[in-house]
Structures are given as structure tokens and as C-alpha cells.
Amino acid sequence: MAEGESCNASAREQKEDFEIVDRNQIPNVTELKSGEKEKTGAEAGWSAPIFSLAKKASENLSVSYGNALKSAALVGLVSKQVSNDSTAKTTLKYHAMEERANLMNMMKLSIKVLIQAALSLGRTLDSDFPPLQQFFVVMEHCLKHGLKVKKSFIGQNKSFFGPLELVEKLCPEASDIATSVKNLPELKTAVGRGRAWLYLALMQKKLADYLKVLLDHKHLLSEFYEPDALMMEEEGAVIVGLLVGLNVIDANLCLKGEDLDSQVGVIDFSLYLKDTQNNDDLKQDGGITAVLDQKHYVEELNRHLSCTVGDLQSKIDCLEKTNSKLQEELAAATDRISSLQEEQQQLKQQNELIRERSEKSVEVTKQDTKVELDTYKQSRQGLDEMYTDVWKQLKEEKRIRMELEKELELQIGMKTEMEIAMKLLEKDTHEKQDTLVALRQQLEEVKAINLQMFHKSQNSESSLQVKKETISSFEGKTHEMLSTMKQMEERLQHAEKAQQVAEEKCNRMKQEFAGKIEAWRQHITQLDSQCSALEKELKSEKEQRQTLQQELHQEKDTTALLKTELQQVEGLKKELRKLQDEKRQLEKICEEQEQALQEMGLHLSQSKLKMEDIKEVNKALKGHTWLKDDEATSCKQCEKEFSISRRKHHCRNCGDIFCNTCSSNELALPSYPKPVRVCDTCHTLLLQRCSSNSA
């Protein structure tokens, strides 16, 4: 009993929602016949197609009631023990079938009336257009059919906006509609939001596509609809197919300022009652609307073609401007190249002048070095002579010492005097040893100076290749001097040994030496004077060596200047190389610009060819006509007859009518901003044309 009461309650709710399904309002066949006899004038008010649709709806109702009675009788004969719950369920099923059929017929009527009214009007539709308002009312009833009641803490909620929200998840293109509906502050109820969603989908011409997406996912719709609802059965797919025809209509609906929450969805049947006298006018209006449609189609094609021509002309102007800019850049580049060539010639002249100056300076330095070498040689000869004199004096001293030794051998008897004399001689020998040490230090300094001179001469050899021969000769002389110095050292060593021997002999002869002290003193003073003279000569030699060192420093400065001049010459060579590289780069740029100009010329020729192709396409498109729906009964390609399942589709390129399989391709045409439906033949032709243009 509880289940029966719930079924009855749901049936009552469905009756409250759908006013069209009231049985008292639907006429039977007998009532229609009696109405024909009594009211002949009213028969003239119905148009033929609407009358036939009403007839079909009434017949469907009578057949459904007859079948229900028969099934009820059969059920009574077969099993009398069936409960009242099963009978209630069967009645509800038949009731839902009748509602679905009636709603589908009303949707057909509303769509047909809306398309006819829109074509006769010949402009975009507003929200105040009555057939459009009635279409939205019928659509709302179709979406409300079989909706489940959702309970919340506020109360029971039953709105068709819930399943429409699923479209945003299934189809990302519908996200704009959902966001715009949610952002409208005037909408406060779910019913108002659902109506606004339908308005926006119709303006986008995608209402059929969105509902088709919903029907493809019926497992999601089962959360919102009962199993016998219109959206869950085949009638929903039929309605979606009917809604595709609304893509012909252009609607401009303003949502601001309209109270969508409080509108009452009542179907007005007066729109579907028309006079028979207006049938001829309607046919004439249909022909005029078809001609107007063709005219609008051709005008749109011409407008899009003119836009494309304008775009191509603007592109050609841009190409001409770029060509002029490139020519100006070419002229500037040629001027720059000529200026760079002039600068290169000037730099060559400057390089030649610098080379001449450097050669002159090198010759002058060579002459100076020759003079300095001559002076150095002369100074070396003087030093050699001085060394020979010193050796002679040393030999004389040795000879004198030998004579003294002989005299000391003779004067052995004078011991006491010889001791005093030996003390004095010891003092004198110590002084002489000091002088010899000083002379050795001076000789070591001379060696160090000679070594420094040798190293400096080697450095000058690495810096200047021209002075190699002179420096090599100088090195030979230095080696000779070193050998002479070594010989001098050996002689000094021999002298020291002889002195040691003499000292030993003096030690032996101390007892023998006694007299001749005064003569020795005089001789010693003479030797002191000779030593002072030798010191003066050594000082003069040091001064000469200092002068020679200064001259060597000057030579180093001159060599440094020569190096800097050589570095400048190398820098000039590098600058010449850089200028040559820049010249090559400029030549490459000139070649690339010439190639770019050639490519620009090819692009211009290709654009001219494209313009001619577009003109030919425009001429060809002007010849196409938009075929009427009534003129085609079968597909032009496969020649299969059209039916409810096999619908008519216009090719947006040639205007002929095809079935869905023969016109399933989409391409972007000049007259349409987005890809539109095209037949297979036009698809292949357009693809061939695009491939030939790209080639």
C-alpha cells in the first residue's frame, strides 16, 4: 500500500508539472468527428500539418488506452491473484509513454513554427519573440519530465539545472556558459539558471551538441532522472535531432533585466492555430524566404571574400613596404661598404708610412749600435793594455822579491836587526795581503759585471734578431775575457803559493836577516806609491765600466722602443684582419638581402596567383544555390531516402542536401569563421585545392 501511495504521489507531481498531459484537455477521435460536423469554421483554422500531428497524438493516446485495457483484461484472465501494485506500475508506465509521445509532438510543432516564423521574419530573434518563448517553455517541460526529487535541509528540490551542470564537465567548451550563468547576480533559483543556460546555448548554436553529450552519458543522467524519463528513452535522441535544425536561427537574447526566476511555463496553443487562407501566403513567403536565404548566403560569401581580398591587399602593401625598406637598407649597406673601403685604403697608407718610419728607426738604431760596439771594443782594448801593465808590474815585484831573498841569504849574520826588520816586513806583508784581497774583490766585481753584461747581451739577442751576429761576436769576446780572468786567477794562485814559499823562507831566514832596513823602507815606500797609482787606475776603470753600463741601458731603452713599434705594427695587422672580416660579413649580408629580395618577389608572385584563384572560387561560388528542404527527398550522393533516422544536411559549400554519412566532414570556408559541414566531394576538391596552393 505504501508503494502504491508513493506511485500515486509521483503521478500527481507529474500532473502538476506538465499541464499538457491532462486527459480532459486532449480530444478523442469521436469528439473530433462531432467537432467537425458542428464547427466547420474551426476546421479551417487548423493547418494541415498541425492537424495531422494532433490526429497522431490522439490516435497514440487511444491506442495506448486500448492496449492498457486489453493487457489489464488478459492479466485478469491469466492470473487473478496479481496485486494492485503491479497494476499501478503498468498504468504509470503507459502514462509516462503517453507523456513522452505528447512532449515529442509538441517539440516538433514548436521547432517547426519557430523556424517558419524566423525565416519569414528574416532577422535575428529577440527574447520577446512569442514562438521562441513557447519553444523554451516546451524545452523546459521536456527537461523536467521524470526528474527525481532531491531532499535537502531546506526541503525538496526539483530543478533541471542539475543535469545541465554536467555538460561543463563532459564538454569543456560549455565552461563559458556555466561561468556566465553563475556570475549573473539577478538569478537566485536553479530554475532561472537553467533557463539562462538554455538561452546562452541557443545563442551559441550548440544546444543540440550539448544535449547529445548528455545523452551519450546516460549513466550520469540516471542520478537525476527516473528510468522512464524522456531524456533516458529514445524520444530524447529524436528531440536532439530536431534541435539541430535550430542552428539556422540567429538569436540575440539579453539576460539582463529579465526575471527568469518567476516566469510561469504555460504552453500557449493559440500560436499553433492558423487560418487556411494564409496557406498560399505561407507558401509564397516560404519561396521568398528561400530566395532571401540564398541572397544572404551569397552576400555573406561576397563579404567574406572581400574581407580576404582586403587582407591580401594589406599583406601586399606590407610586403611592398618591407621591400622598400630592404632596398633602403641595401643602399645604406653599399654606402657603408664604400666608406669602409676608403677607410681601408687610408689605413693601408698609414701602415706604409709607419713601416717606412720603423725601417728608418731600425737603421738608425743599427748605426748607433755599431758605433757603441766600436767604442766598447776600444774600451776593451784599453782594459787589456791595463791588465798587461799590471802583469808586468807583478813580474817586476816577483823579480825584486827574488833579489831580496838573495840579499837576505847573504845577510844571515845580523839576527837582531833582522828580527826588527822581520816585524816590519810582517806588517808590510799583512798590508800587501789586504791590498791583494781588495784586488781580488775588485776582480770578482769585474767578473760579476762581465756576467751581467753577458746576460744583458743574451736578452738583447732574444729581442732583436738583427743583432745576433754582433752579439755572438760580443759573447766570444766575453768568453775570451773570462778565459783571461781564469788565467789571471791561476797566476794569482801561483803567486800566492810562491809567497807562501817565500814566507817559509823568510821564517827560515829571520835569523839571517839583520841589516839594510832603511833601504827596504825606502823600497817599501816606492811600492806604496805604486799601489796608490794602481788604485787610481782601478778607479778610472770602474768609471769607464759605469759609462759602459749606462750605454747598455740606453741600448735596452732603444730595443724596448723598437719592440713597442713592432707591437704597434702587429696591432695594425690585427685591425687590417678585422676590417677584412667585417668586409666579408658585409658581403654575406648583401648576399642574404639579395636572396631575401628574390624570395619576396616569389611571395608576391604567389600572392598574385592566390588572388586569381580566389577570384575563380568567388565566381564558382556565385553559381551555387541553396537547395530547399522540400525539393530533396533523397541524398544526392548515396541516393538513399530521408527519414526520421536519416536526416537532411546542407553542404555549406555547394548548397545541396546530403545525409549524415555523406556530409560528416568539416572544413573552414571563407564565408564561415569556424569549420562547417561539407559533403565528401566538396571536401576532396577543397583539400586538393589547398594542397596545390601550398605546393
The Cα–Cα gap between 310 and 316 comes to: 10
Q: How far is CA 551 from CA 453, 456, 538, 548, in A?
A: 11, 12, 20, 5
pLDDT confidence of residue 629: 82
The Cα–Cα gap between 269 and 27 comes to: 14
The Cα–Cα gap between 675 and 447 comes to: 103
Helix axis angle, 29-38 to 48-78, nearest 10°: 140
**Residue 181 forms part of a structural domain:** yes
Please determine, for residue 148, whether its predicted confidence score (pLDDT) is greater than 70. Answer: yes
**Residue 8 forms part of a structural domain:** no
Tell me the per-residue pLDDT of 40-64, one tens digit each, with 9 for 90 and over.
343 334 344 444 544 454 455 444 4
What CATH number is attached to the domain comprising 670? Answer: 3.30.40.10
pLDDT band at 679 (very low <50, low <70, confident <90, very high): very high
- Find the largest Cα–Cα distance for the chain: 201
The Cα–Cα gap between 460 and 559 comes to: 8
The Cα–Cα gap between 651 and 660 comes to: 10
> What single letter denotes the amino acid at residue 497?
K
Please determine, for residue 418, whether its predicted confidence score (pLDDT) is greater than 50. Answer: yes
Please determine, for residue 553, whether its predicted confidence score (pLDDT) is greater than 80. Answer: yes
What CATH number is attached to the domain comprising 109? Answer: 1.20.58.900
Please determine, for residue 672, whether its predicted confidence score (pLDDT) is greater than 80. Answer: no
Output the CA angle 257-263-264, nearest 5 degrees.
Answer: 165
Among 271, 306, 322, which residue terminates a domain?
A: 271
- What are residue 47's phi and psi, to 5 degrees? -85, 160
Counts for the chain of helices (H) and strands (E), in that order: 17, 6
Q: Which of 219-223, 253-257, 457-461 has the lowest mean pLDDT?
A: 457-461
pLDDT confidence of residue 662: 92
Query: Which grid cell sits at 647?
Result: 536526416
pLDDT band at 374 (very low <50, low <70, confident <90, very high): confident
> What single letter denotes the amino acid at residue 75?
V
Q: 156-157 and 150-151: which strand pairing?
A: antiparallel
Please determine, for residue 23, whether its predicted confidence score (pLDDT) is greater than 50. Answer: no
Q: How far is CA 287 from CA 274, 294, 299, in A?
A: 19, 11, 18
**Number of domains, the chain:** 2
Burial code of 13-50, b = ≥16 C-beta within 10 A, e = fewer?
ebeebbebbeeeebeeeeeeeeeeeeeeeeeeebbeeb
Three-class secondary structure of residue 210 per DSSP: helix
The Cα–Cα gap between 614 and 604 comes to: 15
pLDDT confidence of residue 158: 67
Which carries the bigger pLDDT value, residue 609 or residue 490? 490
The Cα–Cα gap between 401 and 420 comes to: 19
Question: Between the ranges 80-89, 209-218, 529-538, where is the mean pLDDT highest?
Answer: 209-218
Please determine, for residue 287, whether its predicted confidence score (pLDDT) is greater than 60. Answer: yes
**Residue 100 forms part of a structural domain:** yes
pLDDT confidence of residue 440: 77
Please determine, for residue 3, whether its predicted confidence score (pLDDT) is greater than 80. Answer: no
pLDDT confidence of residue 494: 82
Tell me the per-residue pLDDT of 308-318, one tens digit each, with 9 for 90 and over.
888 888 888 88
Question: Between the ranges 53-62, 529-538, 652-661, where is the mean pLDDT highest?
Answer: 652-661
Are 95 and 228 contacting, i.e. CB atoms less than 8 angstroms apart?
A: no
pLDDT confidence of residue 177: 85
Q: 649-650 and 156-157: which strand pairing?
A: unpaired
Please tell me the number of Cα atoms within 13 Å of 691 on its side-chain side: 6
User: What is the chain's mean pLDDT, rounded?
Assistant: 76
What is the DSSP secondary structure assignment for residue 666, as one 8-state letter? Answer: E
What is the DSSP secondary structure assignment for residue 172, as one 8-state letter? Answer: G
Q: Is the four-CA dihedral 671, 672, 673, 675 of positive or negative sign?
A: negative
Helix axis angle, 48-78 to 84-121, nearest 10°: 170
Cα Rg, the chain, nearest whole Å: 64
**Residue 562 forms part of a structural domain:** no
What is the DSSP secondary structure assignment for residue 156, as one 8-state letter? Answer: E
> What single letter denotes the amino acid at residue 104?
M
**Residue 246 forms part of a structural domain:** yes
**Full 3-state SS string of 458-495:** HHHHHHCCCCHHHHHHHHHHHHHHHHHHHHHHHHHHHH
Which carries the bigger pLDDT value, residue 491 or residue 277? 491
Q: Quick one: which of 266, 249, 144, 269 has its CA closest to 206?
A: 249
pLDDT band at 615 (very low <50, low <70, confident <90, very high): low
Helix axis angle, 207-216 to 234-243, nearest 10°: 160
Percent share of the chain, pLDDT over 90: 1
Mean pLDDT of 416-438: 77
Query: Which grid cell sits at 82?
Result: 496479481
Please determine, for residue 15, whether its predicted confidence score (pLDDT) is greater than 70. Answer: no
- The burial class, CB within 10 Å (0-12 / 13-18 / 19+), for 677 is buried
pLDDT band at 480 (very low <50, low <70, confident <90, very high): confident
**Residue 311 forms part of a structural domain:** no
- What are residue 192's phi and psi, to 5 degrees? -65, -40
Tell me the per-residue pLDDT of 497-515, one tens digit each, with 9 for 90 and over.
877 887 777 677 766 665 6
Measured from the Cβ of residue 542, the count of other Cβ atoms closer than 10 Å reads: 14
Name residue 332's beta-bridge partners: none
pLDDT confidence of residue 5: 41
The Cα–Cα gap between 214 and 205 comes to: 16
**Residue 587 forms part of a structural domain:** no
Q: Which of 341-345, 456-460, 585-589, 679-683 has the lowest mean pLDDT?
A: 456-460
Q: Give, for 676, the enclosing helix (H) or strand (E).
A: strand 675-678
- What are residue 674's phi and psi, to 5 degrees? -115, 165
Any idea how long the chain is? 695
The Cα–Cα gap between 648 and 627 comes to: 11
Among 271, 297, 327, which residue terminates a domain?
A: 271
pLDDT confidence of residue 658: 92
Mean pLDDT of 563-568: 86
Q: Quick one: which of 666, 655, 664 has its CA closest to 629?
A: 655
Name residue 472's beta-bridge partners: none
The domain in which residue 653 lies consists of 631-690
**Residue 591 forms part of a structural domain:** no
Among 242, 271, 300, which residue terminates a domain?
A: 271
